[in-house]
Chains A and B, each alone.
Chain A
């Protein structure tokens, strides 16, 4: 049984459909990457999975259990974590408090998970008493991912984690994503930097106009000349 299984998902905002039947499945411990041109519905798909968008047709299953249209806080309880693209930290809270908020529903986790998150992201330990709003973009992204990890999710949804970062930080974030995944967390992420993202992906999903265009392993998609020509900029 796949860890996360989306079947024929339709949905959108205020009567306008953006998703017109998307299929997507990842197994436990896999990294799934969603790529595609602007307006293809990549982020929208992620929001639909996390209950931020009404799914009008189709279904989304977590370990075989339907979860579409559940409110986000229920999904956190069921083992899903979400890192939005923008505004993904609490700027006036300290780094440590940001992380604590991630374990809001599992207060028993705080101590154990704090030390694990600091292991994943050592820079955060040094800055744990600093307000998150004062950190650099890359460090904020670490705080955001750390916050989501605090609830010990089985699957982590990342919305363009490297958007706006310098190449140096970008590589670092991809490294962290791999490490987190190696620790047993399934990943589903949307990325603009398609080549690098597909390079670490077990599964790749190329969306266009709210529908699947190509679905394969990351390596296969990278090797596919059609994909390269139309979506990876040659």
Chain B
């Protein structure tokens, strides 16, 4: 049973954590794609930017959270979301809008977004340095150890405070996004524009407004995802290139332009990663005596080492592109 708890800690919880972060990131990517029809490569750095804003605000007012009783970074999150949304709209105005107005091919927009990603990276590193920093400046990271009331189980289920916040925030974001897209006038207009931009225009929908709203949402979500990731581990300025692949894999697995698909895709990729790096040999240990020698002796039965984690989203990406390029939920655009 100890092995099972180990499995829960290392796969179930870790998979949910990674899945939530990828899902929130992938929703942003997929929304941008469905409105503007290009893969936004600067999304990873928008996430980093959001986390950096939280870090900055938390360093400025380290004890703001103590007054209310929740960690300071979470109090600063709404502000950071607003700042990131502002940045996203600004970037669009400055760099993407002129290209759109020229009617360039989507791939040129992709290159432009790579340019933007470098600019953001440069700026963030210029101000934040290149090392990692904890977002918990003044607060303490609570760690909950839940002992299971079963005989012989010595290992507790371990879950940290930021992970609980992460699950709660993911749930809130998903529900809020769902309500926005299915109930609000703007949300429906967004879906309409993603379906048929010219008809949306003919219906009197102001496409510029929709584009701006998309950036606000994508920016806000990016800030959430980046902050949650940095809360769970530490803030690192150069996360983005490692985030890009899982996030895009998640968006494509879910069907590009399909927000709910992106959420599902995020969890698929997150769990695939944790399952692939999990050492399955541990689960065999209780049966050691009844197993043949060569299997009992096998030390590390992980599919890939943690250093090759990036292979997993790539493998998923290739598999989905080969077998079902529209994604599991039939995305609109290949």
> What is A's interface to B at a CB cutoff of 8 Å?
50, 52, 72-73, 76-77, 82, 84, 87-93, 97-98, 100-102, 104-105, 107, 147, 151
- Greatest chain A CB density within 10 A among B191, B204, B332 is at B204
Any A CB within 8 A of the CB of B104: no
Q: Closest Cβ of chain B: how far from A227's Cβ, in Å?
A: 32
Give me 6 other A-B pairs in contact (C-beta within 8 A), A72-B204, A76-B202, A84-B198 excluded. A73-B204, A76-B204, A90-B195, A92-B195, A93-B192, A151-B204
A101 in contact with B189 (CB, 8 Å)? yes
Query: Residues of B contacting A97 with CB < 8 Å?
Result: 188, 191-192
Assembled-state Cα–Cα distance A89/B332 (Å): 15
A104 in contact with B198 (CB, 8 Å)? no
A82 in contact with B185 (CB, 8 Å)? no
Any A CB within 8 A of the CB of B128: no
Query: Residues of A contacting B195 with CB < 8 Å?
Result: 90-93
Q: Closest Cβ of chain B: how far from A188's Cβ, in Å?
A: 15
Query: Residues of A contacting B196 with CB < 8 Å?
Result: 87, 89-91
Take A84-B198, A90-B195 as given contacts and tell me if A102 and B188 are in contact as well, using a CB distance cutoff of 8 Å: no
B188 in contact with A93 (CB, 8 Å)? yes
Assembled-state Cα–Cα distance A25/B279 (Å): 78
Any A CB within 8 A of the CB of B200: yes
B198 in contact with A101 (CB, 8 Å)? no
Assembled-state Cα–Cα distance A92/B198 (Å): 15
Task: Classify the interface of chain B: helix, strand, loop or mixed.
Answer: helix
Take A104-B185, A107-B185 as given contacts and tell me if A72 and B202 are in contact as well, using a CB distance cutoff of 8 Å: yes
Query: Residues of B contacting A73 with CB < 8 Å?
Result: 201, 204-206
- Top 4 closest A-B pairs, CB basis? A76-B204, A90-B195, A105-B204, A73-B204
Take A101-B203, A105-B204 as given contacts and tell me if A87 and B198 are in contact as well, using a CB distance cutoff of 8 Å: yes
Q: Closest Cβ of chain B: how far from A75's Cβ, in Å?
A: 8
Query: Residues of B contacting A87 with CB < 8 Å?
Result: 196, 198-199
A90 in contact with B199 (CB, 8 Å)? yes
Convert B161-195 into 0s and 1s, putting 1 for each residue whose CB lies closer than 8 angstroms to a CB of A.
00000000000000000000000010011011011
Assembled-state Cα–Cα distance A211/B270 (Å): 63
Assembled-state Cα–Cα distance A104/B206 (Å): 10
Q: Closest Cβ of chain B: how far from A77's Cβ, in Å?
A: 7
Query: Residues of A contacting B201 with CB < 8 Å?
Result: 72-73
Assembled-state Cα–Cα distance A89/B205 (Å): 14
Take A90-B195, A90-B196, A92-B195 as given contacts and tell me if A84 and B202 are in contact as well, using a CB distance cutoff of 8 Å: yes
Q: Closest Cβ of chain A: how far from B35's Cβ, in Å?
A: 14
Assembled-state Cα–Cα distance A83/B192 (Å): 15
Take A92-B191, A93-B188, A93-B191 as given contacts and tell me if A104 and B199 are in contact as well, using a CB distance cutoff of 8 Å: no
Give the nearest-CB partner of A147 in chain B. B203
Q: Closest Cβ of chain A: how far from B172's Cβ, in Å?
A: 24
Give the nearest-CB partner of A106 in chain B. B204
Assembled-state Cα–Cα distance A72/B203 (Å): 8
A104 in contact with B191 (CB, 8 Å)? no
Q: Closest Cβ of chain B: how far from A98's Cβ, in Å?
A: 8
Query: Residues of A contacting B205 with CB < 8 Å?
Result: 73, 101, 104
A104 in contact with B204 (CB, 8 Å)? yes
Query: Residues of B contacting A50 with CB < 8 Å?
Result: 202
Assembled-state Cα–Cα distance A62/B199 (Å): 22
Q: Closest Cβ of chain B: how far from A123's Cβ, in Å?
A: 21
Give the nearest-CB partner of B203 in chain A. A101
Assembled-state Cα–Cα distance A105/B202 (Å): 11
B202 in contact with A90 (CB, 8 Å)? no
Take A100-B188, A104-B189 as given contacts and tell me if A84 and B199 are in contact as well, using a CB distance cutoff of 8 Å: yes
B199 in contact with A88 (CB, 8 Å)? yes
Give the nearest-CB partner of A82 in chain B. B202
Give the nearest-CB partner of A88 in chain B. B199
Take A84-B198, A87-B196, A87-B198 as given contacts and tell me if A102 and B191 are in contact as well, using a CB distance cutoff of 8 Å: no
Give the nearest-CB partner of A110 in chain B. B185
Query: Residues of A contacting B199 with CB < 8 Å?
Result: 84, 87-90
Q: Closest Cβ of chain B: how far from A117's Cβ, in Å?
A: 14
Assembled-state Cα–Cα distance A107/B205 (Å): 12
Query: Residues of A contacting B185 with CB < 8 Å?
Result: 100, 104, 107
Assembled-state Cα–Cα distance A104/B199 (Å): 12
**8 A Cβ contacts from B221-245 to A:** none
